[in-house]
Amino acid sequence: MLLTSSFNIRGGRVLSLLRPCVLLNLTKLILLSFAATFLLFPSSSLAQSTGVEVKSKNFVLTGDISVVEGKRLVKDLEIFRLSLFKLFKVELEPEATPVKIYALKSTTQFQRLVKNKTVAGVYKKNIHGPIFVLDAKGGFKSGDAARRVALHEYVHHVIATYTNQKFPRWYNEGYANFLANFEIKKGKFIIGAPDRNYGLYLKRASWMSMDTLIASVNQYPFQSGSLRGSQRDIQDAFYAQSWLAVTYLQTNPNYARKSGEYLQRVHQGEDSIQAFTSTFEQSPEEFGRILKSFLKQNKFLHYPFPLSKLEKKPEMTIRKLSPSEFQTAMIQANMQFN
């Protein structure tokens, strides 16, 4: 069964967005890219690193992280997966090929693998199956940056694997960020919690044109080279505005009901701005003014759902890796990813 393109859930609770927090480096955001070159890790850099391998029914995690961190991430990914499948009423079956995850605490080694210095995670799907690589330095506790990136990348996998619909870049990334703000509290899973870092960024920074955002269907705007400003500034605005736009579309019933129509029209080849304007009966720039008002009101809905016993205790096997085993695993990661 395929995922529906949008959902509309009632009974959400209001959360405040802008509590005091440390603004993360938004230039290290997530980019769905497809690196295609081969790179060997310098052997000296990994010679002394030990690692861990954590396997569950649907994930295989390898990284230079602790057993506790590895178990925590795989458990959260299994719970997140089951929660999404329940939410979208998708038939619960194991992944055809377990998702491989490589988590590196060394930002330098991570960047060498993905060949990008401005991202914190990359997902791809090739002959080796679904793979994503994470910069693990941000941590895997609830609310930690690396955990959000892992959930974000898994949403990309769900969209690529369980839908037959083409999502515009802005909606794909915004949807992944909307769902990745996933929390587990008091036996319930919660989606729709606000991303305070994006919120603070949008309060302080200049926004990109909403026409530019909505027109981002096949390409990211920071890859075109046609916009003024640094790539990082454009990238930051793109991810933050995409998150806010999709959050509003998904939590406002009038917009949520129409989102599927918009996505279907774009999937069928209609111009994105034309489809957006016709579907929502307003231009992207008019929608942008609504988003700024929404952000200023500082009231975000989130949605709690009960967890089953199965979701709380996924089965896992753990194996510690020696330095040589971990080095071999990273060379395999290079071969599989590139």
**Could you read off the pLDDT of 231-258 as tens digits, one per residue?**
778 899 999 999 999 999 999 999 999 9
Where b means 16+ CB within 10 Å and e means fewer, 113-147 reads: bbeeebbbbbbbbeeeebbbbbbbbbbbeeebbbb
- pLDDT, one tens digit per residue, over 146-199 is 999 999 999 999 999 988 888 999 999 999 999 998 888 887 888 878 898 999
Burial bucket for residue 40 (CB in 10 Å: 0-12, 13-18, 19+): exposed
With contact defined as beta carbons under 8 Å apart, do 204 and 295 qualify? no
Helix segments in the chain, DSSP class H: 43-46, 67-87, 107-114, 145-162, 169-180, 196-204, 210-214, 221-224, 231-251, 253-267, 272-280, 284-297, 309-312, 323-337
Which has more pLDDT, 76 or 193? 76
Give residue 225's pLDDT band: very low, low, confident or very high (50, 70, 90).
low
Alpha-carbon span 324 to 276, nearest angstrom = 53
Q: What is the pLDDT of residue 203?
A: 93
